Structure 1
Amino acid sequence: MERQPIQVRLASHADYPAVIEVTYAAYAAQRAKSELYAYVYTETVESLTASQAKHPNWQILVVEEAEQIVAAVRVGTFKPTDTDLHLWRLSVKPEAQGRGYGKLLVQTVEQWASAQGYQSISLGALEVSPENQAMYERWGYRYHERREMTSAPGNFYAILHKPTDRKLNQTVATYEIMAEDYQQRRGAVGPWVLESLDRFKQQLAAPAKILEVGCGPGRDARLLRETGYHVVALDPTWAMLQLAKQAKVPLVAGDSRSLPIAAASVQGVWAQASLLHLPHLEFSLALSEITRVLQPHGVCYLSLKVGDGEQWHADGRLFAFHQPAAVTKALAGVGLTVLDQWVVEADLPNNPPWVRTIAHKEHA
């Protein structure tokens, strides 16, 4: 049987009923074995909504297969100063189990934790189900301590930890080497950039404060400044930032997955052909960061390549491809609503089309 297309993304409020359904179904066998799992079934859409309001850093990550949510996990911290990212209530629908979706979600959380600088990931496993602890240990988690259940005194669960693994970003390393060559090849402002800017201006007029995520050698940063915007340009590549000085805007060295920018501090975000270098498992993390730094009613612009899957270029850069509908759902998962979306042919031969999207943040 052919595997249906899947997407890993953050859940929006509209997804909460499906998340609850998946969770209840996934824990049914565990509850049949022990009533200690009854606490899972106290979760409702209302309680999820209240928890999200109380803890804005708590998020729900889901796997969607053929437009149906089949797996979910909660992730977050308990205090802003925590160096440990916690995941809980990993759930996979019974009919979707055995396809690796649970491990996929856990691996995604691990990548996010590493990207955002957490030292480790932690989770809990009830002692009544030792097979769950054994599964996590196969995935590299190790016993840390024993705790008593607050909902059922006299019963215990194990806390397991796994340290994060911060690896070299090969794409960034490649851009460090090819920065000047890239500027020579892509330094001119093409008509497609001007079209995108015109559509962006219809949603957010100058002078507004704009964060450019992935500024490269500064071509768009300079154009945005000359248009009248107040621009702060960010890139993870030191060589690119040296070239971007010609844009005459404030420059910041930073990662799109963990923006060193204050919450609700900009009115717009411009991400031209930058987030396409993130693996699919980290795409929603960058979108979540964009939402965090945007003010209410702020506007963001994204430019991505159309297609499916990921591909390493011969020069050492990773490219991820996105379908327009999947981009819309990923944006909804972080609280961004699409205002404008269009697909255009590539400006270089033998390249896939581009999907360009403008969205806005509706609420605080």
Structure 2
Amino acid sequence: MPSPADAVRNEDDGTIAYYDRTAEAYAKATLDVDMAPIYRRFLAHVPPAGEILDAGSGSGRDTLAFLDLGYRVQAFDASAELCALSSALTGVATRHLRFQELDDENAFDGVWACASLLHVAEAELTDAIVHLVRALRLGGALYMSFKLGRGNRVTHDGRMFTDMDEPGLRAIFRELPQARLDDVWISGGEGTLKGRADWLNAIAIKQEGGGGL
């Protein structure tokens, strides 16, 4: 009988297989989504010409936008096919890895995880966020977005989602003294295909030592 860890990995692999299989169509569908309002909210916490990590970069849309705005950008994605498309679009060599494999420390002024952490199983989400916070410099900002809801689900196309609401996210950050939630808001269509879902957005700031919400 498979262990809980094996079950999580199988669902994770199903999600990656979906994006490998549909990479070009997915990139075409999301490339022109207007992210400007959310960029402004995130970049208010990032110094001009600062370093940003695009965590789960997909087509490379956001990597390219940050480059065009004068930021230095690195990127990674768990889908090899999306890594190839992102690298071709942006000229940035997009790393092929999962959140839990990220080993950067104190390297970035901002980490952008737009509609990407939502594919991490709930049981592994805190660990994934810890890896992203570790990659930030002190005072750096982490942007995250999730479909509004609560708990794990697998859709008909094989993708796994962890839906999140504000109490659930605040509960995670109460256990992470190295970061505090600075801004939490709900949007309906901003940063995704219009009308598809309500989204929970959040920005967390890396801090020294204790605290939490």
Question: What TM-score do you get using the length of structure 1 for normalisation?
Answer: 0.52
Say whether residues 1:256 and 2:119 are aligned partners: no
* Aligned position for 1:185: 29
- Measured after TM superposition, the shift of residue 201 of structure 1 is 1.6
Corresponding residue SS for 1:315: coil
Q: Secondary structure at the match of 2:101?
A: coil
| Alignment-mate amino acid for residue 184 of structure 1 | K
1:6-21 maps to which residues of 2 (within 5 A)?
Answer: none
The CA deviation at 1:256 is: 0.8
Instruction: Please say if residues 231 and 250 of structure 1, whose CA atoms lie closer than 8 Å, have aligned partners that are also in contact.
Output: no
Aligned partner (choices 11, 18, 39) of residue 197 of structure 1: 39
Aligned residues: 202
Residue 176 of structure 1: aligned partner = 20
CA-to-partner distance for each residue in 1:67-97, whole Å, 9 max, x for gaps?
xxxxxxxxxxxxxxxxxxxxxxxxxxxxxxx
Give the CA deviation at 1:184.
1.3
Q: Shift of residue 313 of structure 1?
A: 1.5
What is the rounded CA distance, in whole Å, between the counterparts of 1:166 and 1:277 in structure 2? 11
Deviations 1:285-335 (A, max 9, x none): 111111211111111100111102222121111111101122123134222
Change (3 A) 1:189 1:330: same
Question: Which residue, 351, 359, 362 being the options, matches 2:196?
Answer: 351
In structure 2, the CA distance between the partners of 1:195 and 1:350, relative to structure 1 (3 Å rule), is closer
Calculate the TM-score normalised by the size of structure 2. Answer: 0.87
Q: Does 1:339 align with 2:172?
A: no
The secondary structure found in structure 1 opposite 2:144 is strand
Which residue type is aligned with residue 138 of structure 2?
P
Which residue type is aligned with residue 178 of structure 1? T
In structure 2, the residue matched to 1:362 is 207
1:349 Cα shift?
Answer: 6.3
Which structure has the greater CA radius of gyration?
Answer: 1
- In 1, distance between residues paired with 2:118 and 2:167? 16
1:225 and 1:249 in contact (8 A); partners too: no
Q: Does 1:236 align with 2:78?
A: yes
Shift of residue 221 of structure 1? 0.7
Output the CA distance in 1 between the equivalents of 2:194 and 2:181: 29
The question of whether the paired residues in 1 share the 8 Å contact of 2:47 and 2:109 is answered with no
User: Does the Cα contact within 8 Å between 2:30 and 2:193 map onto a contact in 1?
Assistant: no
Equivalent of 2:148 in 298, 303, 306: 306
Q: What is the aligned partner in structure 1 of residue 118 from structure 2? A: 276
Matches within 5 A, 1:71-220: 107=4, 111=5, 167=10, 169-190=13-34, 193-220=35-62
Partner deviation per Cα, 1:256-304 (whole Å, 9 max, x = no partner): 1221x32112221000000111111111111111121111111110011
Partner residue, 1:226: 68
Indicate whether 1:318 and 2:163 are aligned.
no
List runs of 5+ in structure 1 lacking aligned partners: 1-105, 115-164
Could you say what the CA RMSD is over the residues aligned between the two structures, in angstroms? 2.2
Deviation for aligned residue 1:355: 0.9
CA contact (8 A) 1:302 1:356 kept: yes
Return the alpha-carbon distance in structure 1 between the equivalents of residues 133 and 100 of structure 2: 12
350 and 258 in structure 1: CA distance in 2 versus 1, 3 angstrom threshold: same
Partners of 1:223 and 1:212 lie apart in 2 by: 11
Q: Helix, strand or coil for the counterpart of 1:289? A: helix
Equivalent-residue separation in structure 2 for 1:206 and 1:235 (angstroms): 25
Q: Is the 8 A contact 1:287 1:331 kept in 2?
A: no
Identical aligned residues as a percent: 27
Q: 1:311 to 1:357 in 2, by over 3 A?
A: same
Equivalent pair of 2:100/2:131 in contact (CA under 8 Å): yes
Distance change (3 Å), C-alpha of 1:166 and 1:188: closer
Distance 1:299 1:349, change over 3 A: closer
